[in-house]
Structure 1
């Protein structure tokens, strides 16, 4: 089916192969390639259509946005037209990001403005919320997905200004969250941030300074925080704020428990005063990464020298009748083909010299194996030439490591002895971790990572195809 884009057409539905509308005679295609199939939304300033790109062999789906304001006030029309043009400019300026729809075309035809962009097949978080309130793990994942996107657009001096569940789509093919509708986005410069302008955004999710027309980068973080508590409670944000006391009361409406650590992150996102709120997505990412993750993270107990030795000695202990107690944990870690099996041990009636000899033998054998194994190679930026592993030291400071993915790659992050992340990170994402003492970064394709250590300038982690490990410590 084809759908006529003439707003006044009384019978807009046409045959799939139609070149002009059978009722009003308007050309059906845009630029002889984009054909609207059916309308999927309408707002105060325009209409949105599902469409196909017939100039391509597979005829992929896309979205056509038509500027068609309902208001006739001259000032409103001017503002609406500027917002429509701004969305095209912002999408073009931001370029390609896997979590922002790609701009395909911006054009004018038959006295109407049109914007054509990538079709994101999936449900909005507003639609998902109808299935029930979100859990802590879902909110953590949301923040981990979207904070790097905000970091990306803020680095391009763009403020989204309309973050809410309806503008976040979970892409069906990979379950990744995509941030849509940059129509309200504003280009920010050092002086522009200080000027009072038009209030744009959805009132329930809008930061106080944005209501006054003074949106800043952290205004997006505020809106993201409000989005989170709305998803956690299924309550209108207006009902989650006590105007009498001047404070958020979202915890009173939770249907699932939330840890104190995540609660503190949300509270800081929701601060009314910008000087108490997170000033950047990076700082929020750092706090979120340092917080323990439910159902994922495991506490790491300190080990004594005897326990460290014992980790390598399951079979010899059995032979010597050294009785192991109940195992504490067994973990398999990929990357450098490691594994560890931790056990508390009780040694029965053996003389100290005999036990020491037996315990030392495997250590000696492991040292020999390490000596003859192939050494790792590191890039000049991070490596110590005489060492098989690189160690970067930041005396007396917390350790913060930020990575930007320029391509897909397997990454493992261990923070203060605890595995925080292991898996494949997509191109375009930025993640930040903070530790008290040490961060171990492993990558299966070092050339795909750009790394910053304690806010130093970004550096390429290594060569493409190189497997690399670096220890950052204080």
Structure 2
């Protein structure tokens, strides 16, 4: 029985007819005398992703080949696109040292097309996981955010905005259950800026990202670090509800997602999610650090609440013993305690030998 859906089979057939790598799928012919192309993993507006093996390395390890296809129509634009591609590929190479970002293994170009070879992460996307096991509870989503926010902090520290965070671009690794962020939009955007092909020229005037997960400023081609925070917040809502952003109702006046009635979470966590997905940049979290701090504080709220006194304050006009306590340094408190102890010893009955001895010593 064929384990691929009719949709995937149709895609495979279409790509096989259009691309060199597609025609090499399943054959013994090696791409660049090194890569054995196995099958198509997916196709997007800017290219096609293939699963392959490096036939020259021991064990023939799996890898992912991403073929980016924004062909330029002139030598000048091709040169510019090549320069942009090399710059962005080097950035991806630097980012790949993080355990939650696929390592860049190689990059090259040929016939006006650009290729990235990346580490293959064995696992399934969060979108597939939610479809298979159902939506997540508050604790699981908090854990998810605590694992992903440091990755955003790492990216933003290197001046990179992902631009396309969504459940389909987040993998849970089979080996150790870590979350891995894939499919960076930065390379696509840079290539789109120099593309002269009519099909891609239209794309260069549109945002790079996904409808619903991308905030308004991204549609205006002005993404900021907070744009990734918005997308991560919408992803958290998806995990809690199983609903994509376009399935929610939206406030007609503000454009905000009306999600509160769909979930059952604590007030503190609801406030954090609300601030992550604010339409206004002024009201949204600006940095990943801000969200991390808010989550950390929210986790301590129950403990802090239990520590608060519920006893009424004593009347200041009462006797000195009942007056409100004032702060005393530790040394002064110790001295007072010693004097009180000595006073009690002096008042002890003299027939108590031990008390009499201590009484003599203290005097």
Match of 2:279 among 272, 285, 305: 272
Partner of 1:184 in structure 2? 186
Q: Which residue number in structure 2 is paired with residue 419 of structure 1?
A: none
Pair 214,228 (structure 1): closer, same or farther in 2 beyond 3 Å: same
1:244 to 239, 252, 262: 252
Q: Higher strand fraction: Structure 1 or Structure 2?
A: 1
Q: 1:213 aligns with which of 212, 221, 227?
A: 221
Residue pair 1:4, 1:36 contacting (<8 A) in 2 also: no
How many residues in Structure 1 have an aligned counterpart in Structure 2?
A: 278
Give deviations 1:70-112, integer Å, cap 9, x for gaps: x9999xx989988866652331242400000000000124554
How far, CA to CA, are the matches of 2:305 and 2:267 in structure 1?
Answer: 20
Q: 2: distance between equivalents of 1:83 and 1:45?
A: 15
Deviation at 1:230, TM superposition (A): 1.9
Larger Rg: 2
How many Å separate the matches in 2 of 1:80 and 1:45? Answer: 14
Q: Distance in 2 between matches of 1:179 and 1:267?
A: 23
Shift of 1:251: 1.7
Please tell me whether residue 225 in structure 1 is matched to residue 255 in structure 2. no
- Secondary structure of the residue aligned to 2:98 is coil
1:287 is the counterpart of 2:300: no
1:153 aligned onto 2:132 = no
Correspondence list, 1:112-151, <5 A: 112-130=113-131, 131-151=133-153
Provide the residue aligned with 2:268 in structure 1: 261
Q: 1:146 aligns to what SS in structure 2?
A: helix
Residue 208 of structure 2: which of 181, 185, 200 is its match? Answer: 200
Residues of 1 paired with 2:26 and 2:217: CA distance? 48
Matched, 1:102 2:103: yes
Return the offset for 1:66. 1.3
Q: What is the distance in 2 between the residues matched to 1:4 and 1:223?
A: 33
CA distance in 1, matches of 2:295, 2:205: 32
Corresponding residue for residue 314 of structure 2: none
Q: Distance in 2 between matches of 1:283 and 1:10?
A: 45
Q: TM-score, normalised by structure 1?
A: 0.52
After TM superposition, give the deviation of residue 207 of structure 1 in Å.
Answer: 1.0
1:314-340 deviations in Å (ceiling 9; x for gaps): xxxxxxxxxxxxxxxxxxxxxxxxxxx
Aligned residue number for residue 234 of structure 1: 242
The aligned residue for residue 413 of structure 1 is none
Alignment of 1:434-473 (within 5 A): none
Paired position in structure 2 for 1:51: 52
Q: 1:97 to 1:298 in 2, by over 3 A?
A: same
TM-score when normalising by structure 2: 0.67
Give the aligned partner of residue 7 of structure 1.
19
**Any idea what the Cα deviations from partners look like across 1:25-48, whole Å, max 9, x if unmatched?**
xxx232x32221111112222111
Kindly report which structure 2 residues correspond to 1:56-67, keeping only aligned pairs within 5 A, or say none: 56-67=57-68
Confirm whether residue 172 of structure 1 aligns to residue 196 of structure 2.
no
Q: Is the 8 A contact 1:184 1:201 kept in 2?
A: no
Deviation at 1:161, TM superposition (A): 0.8
Q: Which structure carries more relative contact order (alpha carbon 8 Å, separation 6+)?
A: 2
Contact 2:251-2:258 within 8 A present in 1 as well? no
Q: 1:62 touches 1:116 (CA, 8 Å); kept in 2?
A: yes
What secondary structure sits across from 1:178 in the alignment? Answer: strand
Question: Structure 1: which 5+ residue stretches go unaligned?
Answer: 21-27, 188-195, 304-352, 354-474
- CA distance change for structure 1 residues 29 and 65 in 2, over 3 Å: closer, same or farther? same
- Once the two structures are TM-superposed, the CA of residue 278 in structure 1 deviates from its matched residue by 0.7
In structure 2, C-alpha distance between the alignment counterparts of 1:166 and 1:278, rounded to whole Å: 23
TM-superposed CA distance for 1:4, in Å, is: 8.1
2:199 aligns to what? Answer: none
Q: Note the residue ranges of structure 2 that are not aligned, 5 or more in a row.
A: 1-14, 191-203, 309-344, 346-363
| Conservation of the 8 A alpha-carbon contact between 2:16 and 2:22 | no
Q: Which has the higher helix share?
A: 2
SS where residue 279 of structure 2 aligns?
coil
1:12 and 1:293, CA in 2 relative to 1: closer, same or farther beyond 3 A?
farther
1:121, CA displacement in angstroms?
0.7
